[in-house]
Amino acid sequence: MKKFVLLFVLSLVLVARISAQEDTTKTTAEDLKAKIDELKGQVEGLNESYLETKATVDALKKIKLSGYIQAQFQSAELDGISSFSGGNFAAGLHNRFTIRRGRLKVAYDNDITNYVLQIDATEKGLGLKDAYVSFKEPWLKSFGLKAGVFDRPFGFEISYSSSSREAPERSRMYQTLFPGERDLGVSFEYAPYVPYEDFLGYFNFRGGFFAGNGVSVEVDNQKDFIGRLGFSLPFYEENLAIDGGVSMYVGGVKLAAGKSIFTVNNPTLASADTKTTYADRNYLGLDMQVYYALPLLGNFTLRGEYISGKQPGGSASSSSSPTALQTGDLYLRNFSGYYLNYVQNLGDKNQLVVKYDVYDPNTDVEGDQIGALAAAKLGAGDIKYSTLGIGLVHYWDDNIKFVFYYDSVSNETSSKLAALNSDLRDNVFTFRIQYKF
Amino acid sequence: MKKIILLLVIATMAFGFTYDNKVITVKGSDTMVILAQRWAEKYMESHPGITIQVTGGGSGIGLAALINGSTDIANASRPMKPSEREKLKQRYNSLGVEVKTAKDGLSVYLNEKNSVKELSIQQIKDIYTGKITNWKDVGGKDAKIIVYGRENSSGTYVYFKDNVLGGQDFTSTMQSMPGTSAVVNAIVKDANSIGFGGAAYAKGIKFAAVKKDATSKAYIPTEENIKSGNYPITRYLYLYLKTRPSGEMKDYIDWILSAEGQSIVTKVGYFPVR
């Protein structure tokens, strides 16, 4: 009987324990399910939060901020020289610190539509560089339109960013013909959106109508046409690229009432025209860039441009393109100019730069003919210049680069011009630090 | 003038050359990341003095790194864009060196339960641009199509957009995944989904047979169909370098194109170019 009771009690205990275990198992499974549901909810919440964040980030990614600062020290041969190496030196100064460029660019890139605003802030003040809208048609994505203030579509050197350019400044020819590089207007662009290595993809065109005064207010009713037909030929197997283009400028500069257009192409007498309303401003340009790798030395590029045409200057002492309404006589000259620029990589971090540029503002006269006779109306604005620049660029990291550069400037001389009867001492050394982001 | 030239020479010597050939960094295409890792592992076994560091991120990220100098090799599952070439030219005076390392059939993934077996290029385009949103419109059951794709830094995304969608934008309902594996995982779980990516990633899903147009024969991305050109969406997988390779870099590239390197291409699931 005792055994039976003991067995009964043990059975009860066992049943109770099994039941308790079942309860515990049940509770554990329920707990787990609850925890999984909770985690699932948290993951879904996180996923929703991620999608919201992603949408915000995607929207913010369209806003692009970039810029660069070029701080530099320059030393010239003499005090107060005129220079195209970053502007004239002030009277009494032959060395200087300057912020050559302090750019900040904001762009909103919505794939086929774009907004761009760029300013230049230096110790000299604040200036507008770019302010334009651009868009591409959504079907072929090959045709685009741009309106506002932006780079003139002419040649290579204008559109080659100052932050990327190895030599500190553009050639004298470009600084004279296109001061400030930009202009106010509208341009049409054709850049075929075609499959990889499609023949059509090697060509492009940009051209449009501009005010013709640079980044200044409009001063006349005539619009200038500027355009470039370009090509870019890649030879992948040879690691060779040949780019180039043909550019054209067809425009004019308005003559003030009662003033004359002097065609200064004769060493004895300049012809005067008082009837024509606009003096011709016509250029034709050719440019080419070759990229190749030399055995042992590595990659190099050789760039060259040639421009010739008619240029109306505002005085006998200057052939620069006008940037405001002209109130005096105009001096119409046939000009030509070119540059050759060789850049040799020295490893990944260094580049050797050699640049030679020539600008002859008046190809019809030379030497002592300039300034000989008052009736010829020839002066300092007709003197030919050549510049040999040599330098080294060092890329410290992705953002910083150093430029050491020396410009050796030679000028045509005329015994009839007191200030230009010998080669001027106007060479300039530049040391520049650039930060770009 | 002499002083200036002397100064330039001294400056050049002072800055020196910092290129280190012993460590090769590789960055870019997620499609190629497994392939690049296999190459690196195998090559380092037989070349203990060389370290090859491989990371993904997408073709666009790799090419951007090549341009800013933070990688030696960029992996890309699409050709370099003209804008990227321009940047490379500006900084390195180089068009960049393009090496075709493998061929891939850009595959269209379907869930194994999906009754649809084949799609024309036009149907794929319509699905991915949002014109077709239901499987019944392409011969399947009445169910909404769940569209998966890649992020825009991906070379696969760009290649698909340019060559299948003809440059048109992806539908706004497409869910962008961070890598091809993520696309595949999503399709494994979702019976009504569609995705695209490299042929080497097809685990637990099925390929849609693809036909050039409604009347042509459909093909799946097998080696035979890709080599013969029958499969209509094929692409190369590229390596890009800043300049012509030399030293250890050249040895590595040559090895990738050798029989041993190309055998790894096959093992990973792509198709050799040699």
The more confidently predicted of residues A22 and A433 is A433
What are the boundaries of each domain within chain B?
2-103+237-272, 107-232
CB contact under 8 A, B17 and A349: yes
DSSP chain B: -HHHHHHHHHHHHHH-----SSEEEEEE-STTHHHHHHHHHHHHHH-TT-EEEEEEE-HHHHHHHHHHTS-SEEEESSPPPHHHHHHHHHHHS---EEEEEEEEE-EEEE-TT----EEEHHHHHHHHHTS--BGGGGTS-S-BPEEEEE-TT-HHHHHHHHHTSTTPPPPTTPEEESSHHHHHHHHHH-TTEEEEE-GGG-SSSEEPEEESSTTSPPB---HHHHHHT-SS-EEEEEEEESS---HHHHHHHHHHTSHHHHHHHHHHT-EE--
| A243 three-state secondary structure | strand
What are the tens digits of pLDDT across the range B12-24? 545 544 444 489 9
Q: How many domains does chain A have?
A: 1
Give me the CATH number covering residue A351. Answer: 2.40.160.10
CB contact under 8 A, A394 and B94: no
The more confidently predicted of residues B159 and A98 is A98
Query: Contact, A64 vs A109, CB < 8 A?
Result: yes
Alpha carbons A426 and B208: distance in angstroms, whole number: 72
What are the tens digits of pLDDT across the range A42-96? 888 887 787 788 778 888 889 999 999 999 999 999 999 999 999 999 999 999 9
Name residues 390-409 of chain A within 8 A of B (Cβ): 390-392, 394-395, 398, 404, 406, 408
Residue A354 lies in a domain: yes
Residue A128 lies in a domain: yes
pLDDT of residue B20: 46
Contacts of B1 in chain A (CB under 8 A): 406, 408, 427
The answer to whether the B2-103+237-272 and B107-232 domains have the same CATH topology is: yes
Neighbours of B224 (CB within 10 A): 11
Residue A101 has pLDDT above 90, yes or no: yes
Q: Identify the band that residue B3 occupies on the pLDDT scale cut at 50, 70 and 90.
A: low
Q: Identify the band that residue A295 occupies on the pLDDT scale cut at 50, 70 and 90.
A: confident
- Nearest chain B residue to A196 by CA distance is B79
According to CATH, what is the number of the domain B2-103+237-272? 3.40.190.10
Residue A68 lies in a domain: yes
CA A4 to chain CA mean position, Å: 103
Q: Identify the band that residue A40 occupies on the pLDDT scale cut at 50, 70 and 90.
A: confident
Tell me the β-bridge partners of A251: A281
* Tokens linked to A158: 């204008």
Tell me the β-bridge partners of B102: B237, B272
Across A351-370, average pLDDT: 97
Across A262-288, average pLDDT: 95
Residue B173 has pLDDT above 70, yes or no: yes
Rounded to the nearest integer, the mean pLDDT of chain A is 92
Percent of chain A residues past pLDDT 70, beyond the cut: 94
The more confidently predicted of residues B247 and A25 is B247
Alpha carbons B157 and A225: distance in angstroms, whole number: 40
CB contact under 8 A, B68 and A398: yes
| A350 in contact with chain B, both atoms CB, cutoff 8 A | yes
Residue A238 lies in a domain: yes
How many angstroms separate the CA of residue B143 from the nearest CA in chain A? 23
* Tokens linked to B149: 């794709």
> Which residues, in sequence order, are CB contacts of A375 under 8 Å at separation 6+?
A268, A269, A270
pLDDT of residue B19: 44
- In angstroms, how far apart are the furthest CA atoms of chain B? 83
Alpha carbons A427 and A423: distance in angstroms, whole number: 11
Query: Contact, A267 vs A367, CB < 8 A?
Result: no
Percent of chain B residues past pLDDT 90, beyond the cut: 62
Q: Which of A40, A57, A243, A350 best tests the B interface by mutation, with the highest count of B CBs <10 A?
A: A350
| A239 in contact with chain B, both atoms CB, cutoff 8 A | yes
What are the tens digits of pLDDT across the range B240-268? 999 888 889 999 999 999 999 999 999 98
Classify each residue of B110-123 as buried b or exposed e, where b means 16 or more C-beta atoms within 10 Å of its C-beta: bbeebebebbbbeb
Q: Identify the band that residue A6 occupies on the pLDDT scale cut at 50, 70 and 90.
A: low
pLDDT of residue A297: 84
Contacts of A64 in chain B (CB under 8 A): none
Residue A396 lies in a domain: yes
Helix H or strand E encompassing A123? none
| B1 in contact with chain A, both atoms CB, cutoff 8 A | yes
* Tokens linked to B9: 């020479």
> Which residues, in sequence order, are CB contacts of A278 under 8 Å at separation 6+?
A220, A222, A252, A253, A254, A255
Name residues 8-67 of chain A within 8 A of B (Cβ): none
Q: Identify the band that residue A3 occupies on the pLDDT scale cut at 50, 70 and 90.
A: low
Q: Identify the band that residue A141 occupies on the pLDDT scale cut at 50, 70 and 90.
A: confident
Residue B155 has pLDDT above 90, yes or no: no
pLDDT of residue B7: 60
ipTM of model:
0.74
CA B91 to chain CA mean position, Å: 24
Rounded-to-10 torsion of CA A133, A136, A137, A143? 120
Which whole-number Å values give the CA distances from A119 to A66, B46, B61, in the listed order? 11, 55, 29
Q: CA nearest A116: which of A104, A102, A101, A100?
A: A104
| B259 in contact with chain A, both atoms CB, cutoff 8 A | no
Q: CA nearest A383: which of A428, A340, A414, A342?
A: A414
Which residue do the tokens 């055998």 mark? B263
Across A150-178, average pLDDT: 97
DSSP A171-191: -HHHHHHSTTSEEEEEEEEE-
Which whole-number Å values give the CA distances from B52 to A260, B41, B71, B269, in the listed order? 72, 8, 11, 22
Q: Which domain holds residue A418?
A: 64-436
Q: Judging by DSSP bridges, how do beta strands B107-110 and B193-197 pair with one another?
A: antiparallel
pLDDT of residue A12: 63
> Which residues, in sequence order, are CB contacts of A135 under 8 Å at separation 6+?
A112, A113, A114, A144, A145
What is the radius of gyration, based on Cα positions, of chain A? 34
Rounded to the nearest integer, the mean pLDDT of chain B is 89
Facing residue for B244 by CB, picked from A293, A343, A350: A293
Q: CA nearest A425: which of A404, A410, A405?
A: A410
Sign of CA dihedral A70, A161, A299, B87: positive
Alpha carbons B88 and B76: distance in angstroms, whole number: 15
pLDDT of residue B56: 92
CATH architecture for residues B107-232: 3-Layer(aba) Sandwich (3.40)
